[in-house]
Structure 1
Amino acid sequence: MKHFTLFELHQFIERVFLLNFEEEVWIEAEIADSRLNNGNYYFSLIEKNENGEFLAKASASIWRSQVMGLKKKVGNVFEKMTQVGTKVKILSRVRFHPRYGYSLNIVDIDSDFTMGWLYIQKQKTIAQIKSEGLFDLNKKLVLPQVIQKVAVISSEQAAGWGDFYRQIENNSFGYKITLQLFHSKMQGDQVRSSITEVMNEIKSSPVHFDIIVIVRGGGSSVDLSDFDDYSVAKQIAECPIPVVSGIGHDRDVSVSDMVSFASVKTPTAAAEYIVNHNYQFESSLISIYQHIQQFARTQINGYRSNLSNIVNKLALRSGNEVYKKSDHLKQQKLELTRKMYTISKEEWQRINSIKSEITLFNPIKIMDRGYSMIHQKGKWIKNLHSLEKDKKFSLRMNKDKIDIND
């Protein structure tokens, strides 16, 4: 039986490969591992069956000399196509090296295949999210009337974070809104694990956030595909805090956008969304204030008019009453004057009668008729028994006077 050394066997296998794979071949596979070293890309490619079982595995590479050409050809898709978990269709040279074994050298990539696969994956994610009743879950939450505390998921280096921060800090209304940045990968195969980790950190934070905002800079549709991942969309959909997605894309909508409470095109628009929300509350307060002010003014004017009417009526009534009372007083005054005149007349008559009596009984008048008066020791002598005959006394008759015993 013929035998080979290992090197001889490998040389034989190498000749077999060269004879059977003279030209490059197109291969469909999934990237299981990806790493960059000194400008060269190294991959582990796998194929699974419908049950997820491994059917095949191979090593592949893109040499540095070919990288620039491929990037120029496929553009931004290149980064996505070299991520773990991506399905690719590659044009490869199939080689077997006696020392390093079997490998694939990638010389071209079919970007349309990957884009189609990404679209299919996106539709599967949407279908699964809907089947689990998660699609509108975050949308059913209610925003507080005023947004004051915002958790921001972004990268510290992302231009979108800077735009969002400046727009909030310099808002024209002067609203004070507290921002807390939770750093996360926003592109690449680490997006899924990073978003999950940050979401859990926010939910367990002692700070009660009013809203979560996811922002990043702009990018292509392929860059956006990181947010079509089921695990990322599920985290957003099940989040107990309203999520606003502002991941920066004008032409396409990610699954994460679809399941968020609200979706805007840019980080700046996300900031405006928050500011406008607070402005709507302030406007409603101003409207209520103006309504109350108008209502109060109307009520005051009404009461003022009623008071004016009451005052006029009181003035009219009081004028009538004053006129009536004045007329009554005049009548009473005339009556009183008449009574006073009558009383005065009667009194004068009575006084004159008394005066006549006084005049009639005046001692001087009486003496005119021949009577006289005796005065002794400062008092009038009314009978002779009171007269001390030996003492001085005066005898008066009319205007004449005579002293006796003087």
Structure 2
Amino acid sequence: MSNPSSIRLSELTSKVQQVISTSFGAVKYWVIADVTNYTYKTERNFHYFDLVEKDTRSAGIVARFSARAWGNAALNITNFERATGQNFKNDLHVLIQVEVLFNSVYGLQLNVVDIDTNFTLGHLEQQRKATLERLLRENPAFISLAEGIYQTRNSKLTFGPVIQRIAVISSETSAGYQDFRHTLENNAFGYKIIIDNYFALVQGEANAKAFLARLITVFESGIPYDAVILIRGGGAQTDFLLFDQYELNRAIAKFPIPVITGIGHQKNETIADLMAHTSTKTPTKAAEFIIAHNRNFEETLKAIQQTLIIKAAQLMAIHKDKLNTLNQQTIHAAKKMLTLEAHGLLSLSQRFLSQPQLILSGKKRDLENFRVNLAGYSKLYLQHQQREIEHIRSLMRLMSPENILSKGFALLKVNGEIIKDMTHIETGTIIEVILADTEIETKVLTKKYRHGKEYEL
């Protein structure tokens, strides 16, 4: 049973389409929104996505609309990507021109007409500025800004005289990496540079954490690298966004090894360029910087060598002049000395030739005087010795036993031997007593000791 008030769905959608067409058909709106649920149909060059508005406090979605872009709108998106260096993708904050359409099958949709490049560039610049401000605010110990120039702990490091061993963080398939390596390995000066590769994806900002992990790996290796090279070459322009991430740039700013960037841009600077020690435009320029640094050291050595050669030649010339002067002085002094010595020898020879008889006569007189003196001294010496002998002879006569016995003394003998004391003579011993003219034998009847001082004079 049919309801007389019912209508077909197509009639309803037709009425809705009429209302939409009447209300919005001639109007195009510039809408600020975020992109989500984005897909791209390559074969048709169609972009499908949702535009959403998020609550600034809770981040919850407060509005959503399906949108599509094709034809001129798809071309405008391509131009947008080229101008901003930013892929059209999810979470992109955009100012986009749309028209409201209703389709009886697909429902209410927004058809993209155009996209404001400047709005997105401004938003990206705002994000970049916010990141720089955060780096300064949260890391004052190693990041500062003075007169428009960023000073970091890394930028204050000093390169060694030669950059010889380096760590390279790049994509293995990057054309920029190949250019960098080719430039180093084929340098015109034959410099040998050791390259340690730390490969990582550099396509898109989502790989910032992986890139940071490779930088940490370089640090934890403990290898004393002379420099760390960050390379991006080949790929989309959106690869630059990786080098504007906060955590990566904080690590670059405090990294203890000088960082060289060769990110492959010609117009703008990434935050990594500002935090690193040295920024170059391309990977090839980074390689040329290393070669130039080493060449400068070689040129300095050559200049020092040339200076040493010149100084040595000057010093030798000065000393040669001094030696020549000294040689002339020596020759002159030697000639003068030889002349003086020749005069001295001549004078001495003349003295020897003119006075030989005087010398001989003097020597003869000396010998005669010596002979006379020797004869006199010999006679006196013999007379003195004769008197000494006579004196000794007199003493010997006084001390002779005969003389002593004549004075009333006696010699005592026991068994034919003269005794000096009676210590070992016992009573009853026969003793022979010798006087000056008599010898007596007697026997010891008694013996007593005395002190022997009765006859002291």
Q: Which residue of 2 aligns with 1:347?
A: none
Question: Aligned residue for 2:189?
Answer: 173
SS at match of 2:112: strand
- Distance (whole Å) between structure 1 residues aligned to residue 318 and residue 300 of structure 2: 26
CA displacement at 1:143 relative to structure 2: 1.7
1:142 is aligned to 158
Which deviates more, 112-121 or 332-341? 332-341
CA distance in 1, matches of 2:131, 2:262: 20
C-alpha distance in 1 between matches for 2:15 and 2:175: 53
User: Is the Cα–Cα contact under 8 Å of residues 237 and 259 in structure 1 kept in the other structure?
Assistant: yes
Q: 1:273 to 1:112 in 2, by over 3 A?
A: same
Match in the other structure for 2:89: 83
Contact kept in structure 2, 1:149 and 1:211, CA below 8 Å: yes
The counterpart of 2:200, out of the listed 179, 184, 187, is 184
In the TM superposition, 1:47-196 aligns within 5 A as: 47-51=53-57, 53-56=59-62, 58=64, 60=66, 62=68, 68-71=74-77, 73-74=79-80, 76-77=82-83, 80-94=86-100, 104-132=110-138, 133=140, 134=143, 135-137=150-152, 138-196=154-212
In the TM superposition, residue 116 of structure 1 has moved relative to its aligned partner by 1.9
Q: Please say if residues 216 and 246 of structure 1, whose CA atoms lie closer than 8 Å, have aligned partners that are also in contact.
A: yes
Is 1:321 the counterpart of 2:327? The answer is: no
1:248 to 1:204, Cα distance in 2 relative to 1, 3 A: same
Deviation sequence 1:271-295 (CA, Å, 0-9, x none): 1111111222223333333344444
Q: CA deviation at 1:173?
A: 1.6
Residue by residue, what CA displacement relative to the aligned partner does 1:282-315 show, whole Å, maximum 9, x if unpaired? 2333333334444444444444333333332222
Task: Give the Å deviation of 1:95.
Answer: 6.2
Work out whether residues 58 and 104 of structure 1, in 8 Å CA contact, stay in contact via their aligned partners in 2.
Answer: no
* Corresponding residue number in structure 1 for 2:232: 216
Distance, in Å, in 2 between the alignment partners of 1:53 and 1:141 is 42
Q: Secondary structure at the residue paired with 2:202?
A: coil
1:255 and 1:226 mapped to 2: Cα distance?
10
Q: Residues 164 and 271 of structure 1 are in contact (CA less than 8 Å); yes or no, is this contact kept in structure 2?
A: yes
Deviation at 1:270, TM superposition (A): 1.0
- Structure 1 residue 178: deviation in Å? 1.4
CA distance in 2, matches of 1:150, 1:237: 18
Is 1:30–1:85's contact at 8 Å kept on the other side of the alignment? Answer: yes
Tell me what 1:197 maps to: 213
Map Cα deviations across residues 325-361 of structure 1 (whole Å, 9 max, x no partner): 11222223333344569999xxxxxxxxxxxxxxxxx
Matched with 2:147 is none
Between 271-280 and 199-208, the greater mean CA deviation after superposition: 199-208
- Aligned partner of 1:330 among 329, 342, 346: 346
Uncovered stretches (5+) of structure 1, i.e. residues with no partner:
345-406
Q: TM-score, normalised by structure 2?
A: 0.62
Post-superposition CA distance 1:172-219 (Å, at most 9, x none): 221111123333333423342332232223222343322122223379
Structure 1 residues 156 and 35: CA distance shift in structure 2, 3 A: farther
Higher relative contact order (CA 8 A, sep 6+): 1
Rounded to whole Å, the distance in 2 between the matches of 1:43 and 1:197 is 33
Structure 2 CA distance for aligned equivalents of residues 33 and 233 of structure 1: 30
Secondary structure at the counterpart of residue 263 of structure 1: strand
- Kept after mapping to 2: 8 A contact 1:213/1:244: yes
Q: Which residue of 2 aligns with 1:253?
A: 269
SS in 2 for 1:114: helix
* Range moving further from structure 2, 250-259 or 182-191: 182-191
Match for residue 301 of structure 2 among 263, 268, 285? 285
Residue of 240, 245, 252 corresponding to 1:236: 252
Q: Which residue of 1 aligns with 2:396?
A: none
Q: What is residue 359 of structure 1 aligned with on the other side?
A: none
Work out which of the residue numbers 22, 32, 35 in structure 2 matches 1:31.
35
Distance 1:52 1:286, change over 3 A: farther
232 and 93 in structure 1: CA distance in 2 versus 1, 3 angstrom threshold: farther
Q: CA deviation at 1:76?
A: 1.0
**Does structure 2 conserve the Cα–Cα contact (< 8 Å) formed by 1:246 and 1:270?**
yes
Which residue type is aligned with residue 176 of structure 1?
K
Structure 1 length normalisation: TM-score? Answer: 0.69
Q: Distance in 1 between matches of 2:339 and 2:160?
A: 68
Sort the Cα spacing of 1:308 and 1:329 in 2 relative to 1 into closer, same or farther, 3 A. Answer: same
Cα separation, 2, equivalents of 1:74 and 1:243: 32
User: What letter corresponds to residue 179 of structure 2 in structure 1?
Assistant: D
Question: 2:294 is matched by which residue type in structure 1?
Answer: N
